[in-house]
Chains A and B, each alone.
Chain A
């Protein structure tokens, strides 16, 4: 009789990804606990880009705080400016001129397209389709041309100010925007050919990292990540802030909450944003672009929590004022930060290679996660 073979057993091991890794979108570190090729647990380690913006804002005046929001989520700066300006306006009771509101919505939606293009481009790049990224960045440049025309910057705009916007929406900007809107259906069709119908690409994302609506709601997830699970919650519709209440647009939703749905929701949101911009261009009234804001802004004592639909979800600014020129406390509810909690759930049971597409489809921006 042969001696009984020792019982086979496996051990889990730890794989460290980042902070320097080509597909972690900046300085994200993820500790993966693996059983063979399967991921048992994914633990994000944050803070490599923590710059203490909340603390810095306490020693700046309200007007000086605004540029910091540019650098928060640095590829959707307009939306961040918008959110912070709305919060201060609510605190100080400033009425924004109607023309400025429309210009703000145009800019925020252009920035949403810009951000989703980067999201799709980097997803394609991480899965090995560098061409997808080149195409997305090519189309993004046309949006940056518009921003360049209205405020002279390509990335950190500081264009939406407290009480309005800093420069008018010129005729040249209008013609650039119209030319861009004509491009939108063309490049969307191109992406459909390049990526959506590409078998290698679809096999890497269809059915990978699924998430149910209940799981996403439990984790407080918002934005495209939540909508991909089938929950049609969009603050632009729900709150109808600014002039969104007057505009007609749909909320694209997914079904299974997998990477494919997250990718599809982003593509469809680009089309919806283009629709919103079209309506705003048609409705854009004449008038002032800046309300009368006192040179020294001293909001009354009190606190405010104002939220808006950023490109990645619910972007909220909680500001406590003590009646001086500087905020007493600022807290930023960053959608990427809260959405990062879903990473563990999305990676669990998947292969190592799929973790890459999970990071990309959550689409975190580390400046926003770490603040």
Chain B
């Protein structure tokens, strides 16, 4: 006897049967709690996204947490300098699994207009595994919303995340070998 046959006849149209981890992923993908950590210019656009006109809460993502222990998404919004790189790694490590990273703006992707500066890290994927890249300087709030919806798709398909992180780990190993 299949599981759905056990449901009483009268309730059959009101019951959905899914796997537990799929249900969990579905819930997670629709209620991401981002860490409210802004580095530079993009942080202002991140704040605008959360406020009245763009209203990120339509998608259930408005619960910005100031503490990394309560957050599951790190939006790196702004230029990462070498001085700030250690704290950002630490913030990432303090976040509980499963966790995701969005690189918002060209500074976070490749260093942006400051790439040839002596103090700027050329892209946060040198430091952290990034799931979604949002180009722009700064990206408009619509772009951030689009990026978060892309992330939703990724959370629903964890095999894609795993594949990309494996590639990232490989790239990191290669880079370290080159530096050594």
A27-B84 contact given A138-B53, A156-B138, CB 8 Å threshold: yes
A156-B137 contact given A20-B91, A67-B113, CB 8 Å threshold: yes
B34 contacts partner chain A, Cβ-Cβ < 8 Å: no
Q: What 1/0 mask marks residues of chain A from 43 to 77 whose CB sits below 8 Å from any chain B CB?
A: 00001111111011001000000011001001100
Q: What 1/0 mask marks residues of chain A from 164 to 181 whose CB sits below 8 Å from any chain B CB?
A: 000000000000000000
Q: Shortest Cβ distance from A255 into chain B, in angstroms?
A: 31
Interface of A (DSSP majority class) = loop
A134-B83 contact given A51-B114, A56-B117, A71-B41, CB 8 Å threshold: no
**B66 neighbours in A (Cβ, 8 Å):** 21-22
**A283 neighbours in B (Cβ, 8 Å):** none
- Report the bound CA distance from A261 to B36 in whole Å: 29
B154 contacts partner chain A, Cβ-Cβ < 8 Å: no
Q: Which residues in window 75-132 of B have CB below 8 A to A? A: 78-79, 81, 83-84, 87, 91, 113-114, 116-120
Question: Could you tell me if B117 and A52 are in contact, using CB atoms closer than 8 angstroms?
Answer: yes
Question: Could you tell me if B41 and A154 are in contact, using CB atoms closer than 8 angstroms?
Answer: no
B: interface residue count bin: 20 to 34
Q: Shortest Cβ distance from A33 into chain B, in angstroms?
A: 21
Q: What 1/0 mask marks residues of chain A from 25 to 50 whose CB sits below 8 Å from any chain B CB?
A: 01100000000000000000001111
A366 contacts partner chain B, Cβ-Cβ < 8 Å: yes
Question: Could you tell me if B51 and A74 are in contact, using CB atoms closer than 8 angstroms?
Answer: no
Listed by A's residue number, 25 A-B pairs whose Cβ atoms lie within 8 Å are A20-B37, A20-B91, A21-B66, A26-B39, A27-B39, A48-B83, A49-B78, A49-B79, A50-B81, A51-B114, A51-B117, A52-B114, A55-B118, A56-B114, A56-B116, A67-B113, A74-B40, A75-B44, A134-B51, A134-B52, A137-B47, A137-B53, A141-B53, A156-B137, A366-B40
A residues lining the B interface (CB < 8 Å)? 19-22, 26-27, 47-53, 55-56, 59, 67-68, 71, 74-75, 118, 133-134, 137-138, 140-141, 154-156, 366-367
B residues lining the A interface (CB < 8 Å)? 36-41, 43-45, 47-48, 51-53, 66, 68, 78-79, 81, 83-84, 87, 91, 113-114, 116-120, 137-138, 140
